[in-house]
């Protein structure tokens, strides 16, 4: 069989850095050799979809969109395990699995060799190392990964300013609302205590939906489990946390460090 032709795949998370990386990738290798790839968990904030579409229009490449069809909650029920800051099967099922299926399809069905581009910055080098190691070992054949925010661009490049002022595109609203990361519309089960306090202060109704989701899982499997954890590792439900915030005032919880020093998973949007 003929040697595979290279295709450059921007792993577009709907955040600013991955948009900037995608733009530069397309400028370097051309639209015809580029793919903007997005995996949808069906929990993203609606404004992230608006941003994604505007970036796609600006770059001039359509989004290649993959969706498993389940929400993270449906995955938790399928695997009988409630995602939490330490383990989140939703990411594996809805993002990683869809990505690997897509990449293998590029090779098998189109004789293309993908190179992946991530918008991960120098402050998250450990995540770049993890991703690099993952794609070296997990697919059937290794896949090359590139991290231009670490290896290519100037350290002080202000991608948000460029997107807003030069591209004329408004950033996803979650940036302005102060979320540290915008995965799954602020509902990421890996978010930790400070993150959930932020969610409650900004979108109490969305926090309530998470609270109800957690309770549905507890009832369905009759298990004392929770998304958040206490320092001693015991469960700490979103209802208990909300009641604590209401009793003691939310401000002291907003800066709460996460007990696990939680970092977002491969789903990171910022
Ligand atoms: S962002 Fe969080 S909740 Fe969403 S799929 Fe990833 S780990 Fe799961």
With both helix axes pointing from N to C terminus, report the angle between 204-221 and 72-79 in degrees, rounded to the nearest 10: 20
Q: For strand 5-11 and strand 34-40, is the pairing parallel, antiparallel, or unpaired?
A: parallel
CA 129 from chain centre, in angstroms, equals 17
Distance 265 CA to ligand 1 centre (A): 7
Question: In degrees rounded to 5, what are phi and psi of residue 10?
Answer: -85, 125
> pLDDT digits over 157-214, tens only?
899 999 999 999 999 999 899 887 778 999 999 888 989 999 999 999 999 999 999 9
pLDDT at 29 over 90: yes
Cβ(72) – ligand 1 distance below 6 Å: yes
Query: Lowest mean pLDDT: which of 18-32, 65-79, 221-235?
Result: 221-235
Q: Residue 112 has which token pair?
A: 């293309």
Cβ(15) – ligand 1 distance below 6 Å: no
- pLDDT the model gives residue 124: 83
Just give the CATH number of 5-173: 3.40.50.620
- pLDDT the model gives residue 262: 44
Q: Where are the domains of the chain?
A: 5-173, 183-254
Cβ(181) – ligand 1 distance below 6 Å: no
Provide the β-strand partners of residue 10.
36, 117
pLDDT at 265 over 70: no
Distance 183 CA to ligand 1 centre (A): 6
Cβ(59) – ligand 1 distance below 6 Å: no
Q: Whose CA is nearest to atom 2 of ligand 1?
A: 188
- pLDDT the model gives residue 200: 96
Cβ(183) – ligand 1 distance below 6 Å: yes
- pLDDT the model gives residue 49: 96
């Amino acid at each position: 069989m003929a040697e595979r032709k290279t295709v450059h795949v921007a792993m577009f998370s709907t955040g600013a850095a991955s948009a900037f990386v995608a733009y530069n990738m397309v400028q370097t290798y051309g639209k015809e050799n580029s793919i903007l790839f997005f995996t949808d968990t069906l929990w993203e904030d609606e404004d992230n979809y608006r941003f994604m579409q505007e970036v796609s229009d600006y770059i001039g490449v359509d989004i290649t969109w993959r969706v498993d069809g389940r929400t993270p909650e449906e995955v938790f029920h399928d695997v009988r395990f409630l995602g939490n800051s330490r383990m989140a099967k939703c990411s594996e099922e809805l993002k990683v699995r869809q990505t690997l299926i897509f990449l293998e399809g590029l090779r098998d069905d189109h004789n293309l060799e993908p190179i992946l581009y991530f918008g991960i910055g120098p402050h998250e080098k450990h995540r770049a190392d993890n991703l690099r190691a993952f794609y070296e070992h997990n697919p059937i054949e290794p896949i090359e990964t590139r991290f231009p925010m670490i290896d290519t661009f100037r350290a002080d490049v202000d991608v948000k300013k460029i997107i807003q002022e030069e591209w004329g595109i408004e950033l996803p609203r979650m940036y302005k609302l102060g979320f540290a990361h915008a995965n799954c519309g602020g509902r990421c089960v890996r978010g930790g205590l400070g993150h959930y306090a932020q969610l409650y202060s900004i979108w109490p109704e969305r926090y309530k939906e998470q609270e109800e989701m957690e309770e549905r899982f507890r009832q369905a499997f009759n298990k004392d489990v929770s998304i958040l954890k206490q320092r001693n590792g015991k469960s700490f439900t979103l209802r208990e946390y909300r009641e604590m915030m209401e009793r003691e005032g939310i401000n002291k919880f907003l800066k709460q460090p996460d007990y696990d020093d939680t970092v977002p998973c491969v789903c990171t949007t910022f």
